[in-house]
Amino acid sequence: IQLSRAAFETNVSLFFIVAGVWFYLTCFVAKTKKSGILLSVSGICFGLAMFTYQNARIFVPLLVICLLFIYRKQLIKMRRALIGPTAVSVIFLLVLIPTFFSGGGQVRFNGISVFIDPKPQLRSQQLAEEDKVAGVGFGSILHNQRFAYIPQIIQNYFVHFNPEYLFFTADADTHHAPQVGLLYLWDLPFIVAGGYFLYKNKYPKEAKKIITVWFLLAAVGSSLTWEVPHALRTEIYLPTYQIFAAIGLFNLLVLSNHKKVVFVTLGTLLSLNFFYYIYQYFVHLPTDYSKAWFYGRAQAAQATEEIKSKYDKVVVSTSLQQPYMFWLYNVAYDPARYLQEGGTVSGGFAENNNHFEKYEFRQIDYENEIKYKTKILWVGTPKDFPTGVNIVKTIYYLNGEKAIIFVSHD
């Protein structure tokens, strides 16, 4: 609910991944003569998933390799049916690989990659120098800079299994409601029980392998980034938690001697948990997390339109996080005209020097810019300005905190 209502692209990616697995498994379970078509459709779904979200570009190839290995014996017997899906895979790879390694394709990865942080390498170098001083000859092997990021990646991986993160705190405010995690607390005992029953009971061995592989691979991509744990990058987990919970609930009901009582009790607990989430989502989230949802940008853009005629230019601080998009949209600036004027100059995380009409979107250097005779209206957060500035207008978050201020030196 939380992630789909915000239309995060990871939802589209997850849809195609689930569809890809479903078509793939149908080929073997249904034992149909159209196996080549099913495998081709599966390949198309997996290929589309890799074009919708970055994490899928790591997860999908790993999952597909595991699926091929699990069903290798069956695939060998149906070699003719593999012509179509092989062709589909080659086509997607020919398109995807150049895109991934292009300058534009690398912008996002370089912006979130754990490898952009120099601290692990510097620490490794420091330890190697200390070993030299201590006369330890193999210190350069133990603290090789090539392996400096491995401990961080491992730590990043396991933090995604933290129950506090999953059931109580989550990560970014945009990914959960106040005091609610990513999963219902009601699910916890059934997820644990589901894991137990899945491996204890006589479920198909292929199913056990697929669910296990899916669960273990889901956080691999996110572990290579610096902002962890991260709900969007690990929403790929979702089907496995649902399967674990369903298996746990089903088996506990089967074992129970009072199925109606247990069913009513659990249904009540689930309803209460769901109601609590919905209440937090619709009542408290808009107020408590208005800052996280960029409240005030629309109001600020509309307000600048009303008073911009009094100024030579309007400088909007990039501390408002890619504000040019909010202004373009909310002032309904003509896209054709915007592109004619040069369009978006910067990209990715290197946001600077975007502009249109009187608007400039960049960092504010108030102390130096105030010396100019140009009549400027500065728009930014309170932290962008020193104390004692002339505040023309203030926009507040819904919790009463100052969000955006307009400053002029008139």
d(CA 276, CA 103): 46
Phi, psi of 398 (to 5 degrees): -70, -15
d(CA 376, CA 316): 10
Q: Given this model, what pLDDT does residue 108 score?
A: 60
Contact 232, 175 (CB under 8 A): yes
Q: Which residues of the chain are modeled with pLDDT < 50?
A: none
Q: Given this model, what pLDDT does residue 397 score?
A: 96
- Helix orientation angle between 10-29 and 35-49, rounded to the nearest 10 degrees: 160
The two beta strands, 354-356 and 359-362, are antiparallel
CB contact set of 190 (below 8 Å; sequence gap of 6+): 244, 245, 246, 248, 249, 252
Q: What is the DSSP letter of 191?
A: H
Q: Given this model, what pLDDT does residue 335 score?
A: 95
SS (H, E, C) 324-344: HHHHHHHCCCCHHHHHHCCCC
Q: Given this model, what pLDDT does residue 386 score?
A: 92
> Long-range contacts of range 344-351, CB-CB < 8 Å, 24 or more positions apart?
347/104, 347/107, 348/107, 348/108, 348/110, 348/111, 349/107, 349/111, 350/107, 351/318, 351/322
What Cα–Cα distance (Å) separates residue 75 from each residue in 39, 122, 147, 305?
A: 10, 48, 38, 63
Phi, psi of 46 (to 5 degrees): -65, -40
Q: Given this model, what pLDDT does residue 400 score?
A: 94
Which 3 state secondary structure label does DSSP give 377? strand
Phi, psi of 397 (to 5 degrees): -70, 165
Burial of 59 (0-12, 13-18, 19+ CB in 10 A): buried
Which 3 state secondary structure label does DSSP give 381? coil
d(CA 39, CA 18): 14
Q: Given this model, what pLDDT does residue 132 score?
A: 67
